[in-house]
Structure 1
Amino acid sequence: MSAPCVIFDLDGTLIDSVPAIHAISNTVLREMGLAELSEPKVRSFVGKGVPNLVRQLLIASGKDPDGPLFAQAEAALLAHYETDLEGNTPYPFVIEALDQLSEMGCALAICTNKPLKPAEAVLDYLGLRERFTLVLGGDSLPSRKPDPEMLRACHVRLGGGPMVYVGDSEVDAQTAENANAPFVLYTEGYRHTPVQDLPHQVAFADYRMLPGIIGRFQKDTA
């Protein structure tokens, strides 16, 4: 009975990063002479990668998202992303769940639309990086989620076999569906859609439940 590969989204799934992203976004806006935005507003922009975040910040500021400010804002955001790490926190019991999954023999990986260097920086900051065999970021391949290629590439690099994808959002649900992969939905992240309206195999709100959920997948694929 082989343990499944467990591939995770990052923001809104393993970590609550909105406080950090909100602070970084407002730092960039201030540097550009623009007004700050509220945390709920910035939260609504999270999940589709840095280019989308920058575009939404400019649109919300009344600026042309396709104009000359885009490159300036994107470069500033990426620079702060790698260094301004305060405000990122793991969700409760994430570390315990990851350690238990490793003890079960699961290979663990991250498939996130966050760029690779900022993703690895925050994982190092939180002491999580060593728990993952592989991290793929939004700039690791030519496409990003919900294109299924990221998830498929992650799965192949882990060696194939049974696989479960764990995420929190509409983008994650669509990615799993596009890749024809089992999807486990963490309900306490950044989704906007009611749980019942997102395609998923299992939903959970407490990371203490996850090892048991993965264990059931392991039995079903035996």
Structure 2
Amino acid sequence: MRTAVFDLDGTLADTSADLIAAANACFEGRGLGKPLDPVADALTAFAGGRAMLRLGVERLGVDDVLIDEEYQTLLTHYAGCIDDQTVLYPGVEACLDRLTAQGWILAVCTNKPEGLAETLLGRLGIRDRFASMLGADTLPVRKPDPEHLFETVRRAGGDPARCVLMGDTITDRKTAANAKAPCVLVGFGPLGPDIAELAPDAILDHYDDLPALLERLLP
């Protein structure tokens, strides 16, 4: 059977505002204000907690030791606001239902910590759509290592040779390339039209289009 594997942040859901809020809370706790913007810095948010802290440190001109010192604090803040502003992208739920009806196995492969990913998918009401979900700390490796993708597919009951990866960043593009798997990148993320520079096999503009697009990539 064919497996459709999804990244989470920036692919299934716009999580940037809650991620940025968690990072800003770390800086506020040190009396440094809110150096990050939820809109302008959305791409950095999707790169992970350390990337957000690093950007804030650079803007503020403070010691980068703060990155390691505040990382766990960031995760604690984020766990408390994980779905305050996060929303699924338009058409996600209907698309997942259509793919399931067409016989696709669905899975999630994310570089978000597994516990947080499980919580978020549950809060968004879509965890039960996925046969497996692997996070950044599920295995000793993570994206762009292809084994992260392969093991996600295996645990879902699929064939790693018959999978497609949906994502939104260079990390997802590299993962698919390393796995020699087709890659779909979303065109509605922070990169917008610039996503074409990553040369994915296809660009998704709306989830209504995904079932037909996947059928072309992996008949």
Q: TM-score, structure 1 length as denominator?
A: 0.88
Could you tell me how far apart the structure 2 residues matched to 1:36 and 1:152 are?
Answer: 39
Q: CA deviation at 1:130?
A: 1.1
**Once the two structures are aligned, what percentage of the paired residues are identical?**
35
Q: CA deviation at 1:193?
A: 7.4
Could you tell me how far apart the structure 1 residues matched to 2:136 and 2:113 are?
Answer: 5
Q: CA deviation at 1:140?
A: 1.6
Corresponding residue of 2:204: 204
Q: CA deviation at 1:41?
A: 4.8
Q: Could you tell which deviates more after superposition, 46-55 or 182-191?
A: 46-55
Q: Could you tell which deviates more after superposition, 122-131 or 186-195?
A: 186-195
Q: CA deviation at 1:90?
A: 0.3
SS in 1 for 2:77: helix
Counterparts of residues 56-205 of structure 1 (less than 5 Å): 56-65=55-64, 67=65, 69-84=66-81, 85-161=83-159, 162-191=162-191, 194-205=194-205
Q: Could you tell which deviates more after superposition, 77-86 or 194-203?
A: 194-203
Relative contact order, CA 8 A, sep 6+: which one is greater? 1
CA distances 1:67-93 after superposition (whole Å, capped 9, x unpaired): 2x3343111111122221211000000
Contact 2:106 2:130 in 1 (8 A): yes
- Stretches of structure 2 lacking an aligned partner (at least 5 in a row): none
Q: Could you tell which deviates more after superposition, 147-156 or 110-119?
A: 147-156
Could you tell me how far apart the structure 2 residues matched to 1:61 and 1:110 are?
Answer: 35
Letter in 1 for 2:63: D
Could you tell me how far apart the structure 1 residues matched to 2:43 and 2:132 are?
Answer: 28
- Stretches of structure 1 lacking an aligned partner (at least 5 in a row): none
Contact 2:164 2:218 in 1 (8 A): no
Could you tell me how far apart the structure 1 residues matched to 2:118 and 2:197 are?
Answer: 32
Letter in 2 for 1:107: I
Contact 2:27 2:33 in 1 (8 A): yes
Corresponding residue of 2:27: 29
1:149–1:46 CA distance, 2 compared to 1 (3 A): farther
Could you tell me how far apart the structure 2 residues matched to 1:155 and 1:33 are?
Answer: 45
Alpha carbon RMSD of aligned pairs, Å? 1.9
Q: Could you tell which deviates more after superposition, 87-96 or 48-57?
A: 48-57
Letter in 1 for 2:50: P
Could you tell me how far apart the structure 1 residues matched to 2:133 and 2:122 are?
Answer: 12
Contact 1:169 1:190 in 2 (8 A): no
SS in 2 for 1:194: helix
Could you tell me how far apart the structure 2 residues matched to 1:191 and 1:153 are?
Answer: 28
Corresponding residue of 2:38: 39
Counterparts of residues 43-58 of structure 1 (less than 5 Å): 43-58=42-57
Could you tell me how far apart the structure 1 residues matched to 2:156 and 2:134 are?
Answer: 12
Q: Could you tell which deviates more after superposition, 169-178 or 69-78?
A: 69-78
1:148–1:46 CA distance, 2 compared to 1 (3 A): farther
Q: Could you tell which deviates more after superposition, 91-100 or 132-141?
A: 132-141
Q: TM-score, structure 2 length as denominator?
A: 0.89
